[in-house]
Amino acid sequence: MKLRIVAISDTHEQHNKIKIPDGDVLIHAGDITWKGELAPLESFNRWLGRLPHKHKIVIAGNHDWAFQLIPDTARKIITDAIYLQDSSVTIEGLLFYGSPWQPAYNNWAFNLQRGKELAEKWALIPDKTDVLITHGPPFGHGDLLRPVKGKIRVGCEDLLRRIKAVRPRFHIFGHIHEGYGITHEDGTAFVNASISNAPFADNLNAPIVWDLEV
């Protein structure tokens, strides 16, 4: 048996512009909104409700302030997907785990300091995770930022260490728009599914789709 996974991230209120392929599991890896406001979150949930996928999983990103500041209200809005925050869900025997945290940058939501703070969050990832979903990338995969003065890697080293210990089959994330695409290491496929192009261009990236054997 195979599950068709459809991965997106960083839609930033442009969800209605995206052509979503059919599949079994739709995954959104955060940054649903620009400023975490409730109205675009409600629009996003209505959009989810029109999609045919049997399973839908959502996590928050650094722009999704509502999930950090008024979490009960934000979570109640998402009625057409499973919201994960340092939590998991099992689908067809596969464990999906989601977490919104990333290394601190510019006082956005779900920021934590590199080192102990982030390592404690990553330690919560279950050893038997099949599909890991985070908003930010691990170090060395889909994390190349291209500022004016040159490329720099901004992924989390502690996240990469935990991934090497757990060895999930897939790690889905976004956050760094320029990092869109798939890389591989030690049996894990790293999927940066950012829909938005850098810097927030109108020409959007396509959802990333693959079949996962159960």
pLDDT of the residue at 200:
59
| 80 vs 46: CA distance, rounded Å | 8
Looking at residue 36, what is its pLDDT? 96
pLDDT values of the chain reduced to their tens digit, one per residue, 214 residues: 899 999 999 999 999 999 999 999 999 999 999 999 999 999 999 999 999 999 999 999 999 999 999 999 999 999 999 999 999 999 999 999 999 999 998 899 999 999 999 999 999 999 999 999 999 999 999 999 876 666 889 999 999 999 999 999 999 999 999 999 999 999 999 999 999 986 656 679 999 999 999 9
| Nearest Cα residue to 194 out of 186, 204, 203 | 204
Query: Class for domain 2-213, per CATH?
Result: alpha beta
Whole-prediction pTM: 0.96
Region for residue 53 given its phi and psi (left: phi exceeds 0; alpha: psi -120 to 50; beta: otherwise): beta
Q: Tell me, what's the pLDDT at 123?
A: 98
Domain residue extents for the chain: 2-213
Question: What is the separation, in whole angstroms, between the first and last Cα of the chain?
Answer: 6
Are residues 63 and 41 in contact, defined by beta-carbon separation less than 8 angstroms? Answer: no
Which pLDDT value is given to residue 199?
60
H or E stretch covering 111:
strand 111-112
- Report CA-CA distances (Å) from 213 to 46, 170, 210: 30, 12, 10
